[in-house]
Amino acid sequence: MNSIFKLITNQQIPETANALVPVIGYEPWSLRALESIKSSIVNGVPTLIRVHSAADYPIENEELSHRLDMESHCVLIVGYNDDKEEFDIVDPWNPNWGGQHGGVGKLPYESLHVACVNCTAEKGTRLSLISHKIRPVLIEENASLAVDLGFYEPLGYVIDRNNTKFETFKVTIHYLFNGNEKQQSQSLSGEWKIGEKAIFTFPLEKELSGDIDVRIEVLATLSSDRPYQYRDNICMDFTETVKINRSSGVSQKESVISSINASNY
């Protein structure tokens, strides 16, 4: 008796988190920079960039104006339109400070490499949930649920790949079995850098079948040495529906089906 698993993103139960995970991407080629940002948006991950601001964000206070010119101003790229060749941005600028910026705006593709503080190079910070993937695992006739955790990795180059890392993970899963809530927790400590995954495997009851809603809680410690030292705790919560069909005469190769990745912001 083998099992077929299928994971369905539960759209009615949103993912929640107390923070987002930063990954700094870098792409020196103009067209590849555009495609990298658009790819992240398709994956539900916005990009934070710093823009030259002295001319476009005037403020009356000379000291603050000089500081703004030196440090620039951040905007968040949240969408794009290939027909109009422009990005949708969210600008946190307060109009009371001077100038007309603030709210939702547009940034033409051709202006990205001029407006961005890195000029001809795109350097943007991707802000995502902890990257997570749910995988079905079948060892002989024993069914398990695997949870892969790590960083979102954008197209192109990644800055500080080896300086940013997860140090701990605690994963707890909840689901109903015969009307009773089941809970399992596992913890791991170590170092998982950008491009690496922490893998958890949770055994499931052999009698489980049908659509099972599994709620997954993640508590992680994230640290980095650059651009400054920090260590933060991040928690998130999401739900997936695991569909378990039990049938006889199914080969083990056929009984392991790739899961649909849990969507990211």
Residue 261's pLDDT is 31
Is residue 262 in some structural domain?
A: no
Q: Tokens 């024993």: give the residue.
A: 142
Q: Give residue-wise pLDDT tens across range 114-153.
A: 778 765 566 889 999 999 988 877 766 677 889 999 999 9
Residue 61 counted as domain residue: yes
Q: Is residue 10 in some structural domain?
A: yes
Do 218 and 205 share a structural domain? yes
206 domain residue, yes or no: yes
- 162 and 102, same structural domain? no
Residues 155, 86 share a domain: no
Q: Same domain, yes or no, for 156 and 112?
A: no
pLDDT tier at 13 (50, 70, 90 boundaries)? low
Residue 265 counted as domain residue: no
- 165 with 221, same domain? yes
The structure tokens listed for 77 are 């790229």
Q: pLDDT tens digits for 233-252?
A: 999 999 988 776 655 333 23
Give the whole-number percent of the chain exceeding pLDDT 90: 43
Residue 56 pLDDT: 72
Number of domains in the chain: 2
Residues 104 and 61 in one domain: yes
Q: By residue range, what is the domain housing residue 94?
A: 24-127
Asked whether residue 38 is domain-assigned, the answer is: yes
Q: What pLDDT is recorded for position 130?
A: 95
Closest CA to 134 of 6, 242, 259, 263: 259
pTM for the whole thing? Answer: 0.78
Q: What is the CATH number of the domain that holds 163?
A: 2.70.50
Assess whether 204 and 235 both reside in one domain: yes
Looking at the fold, whether 100 and 150 belong to one and the same domain comes out as no
Q: Which of 73, 98, 127 is the last residue of a domain?
A: 127
138 lies in the same domain as 203: yes
Q: What's the pLDDT band for 86 if we cut at 50, 70, 90?
A: very high
Rounded to the nearest integer, the mean pLDDT of the chain is: 80
Q: What is the CATH number of the domain that holds 66?
A: 3.90.70
67 shares its domain with 175? no
- What's the average model confidence in pLDDT over 222-226? 89
The arithmetic mean of pLDDT across residues 26-35, rounded, is: 86
**How far apart are alpha carbons 80 and 233 in whole angstroms?**
32
Assess whether 77 and 123 both reside in one domain: yes
pLDDT tens digits, one per residue of 252-261: 322 232 233 3
Q: Are 123 and 135 in the same domain?
A: no
Question: How high is the pLDDT of residue 63?
Answer: 74
Mean pLDDT computed over 65-78: 79
Q: Which span out of 10-24, 35-49, 102-116 was modeled with the highest average pLDDT?
A: 35-49
Position 22 scores a pLDDT of 92
Answer whether residue 34 is part of any domain: yes
Least-confidence region, from 193-202, 208-217, 230-239:
208-217
Residue 98's pLDDT band, with cuts at 50, 70 and 90, is low
Q: Which of 107, 127, 147 is the last residue of a domain?
A: 127
- The pLDDT value recorded for residue 7 is 37
**Mean pLDDT, residues 158-185:** 93
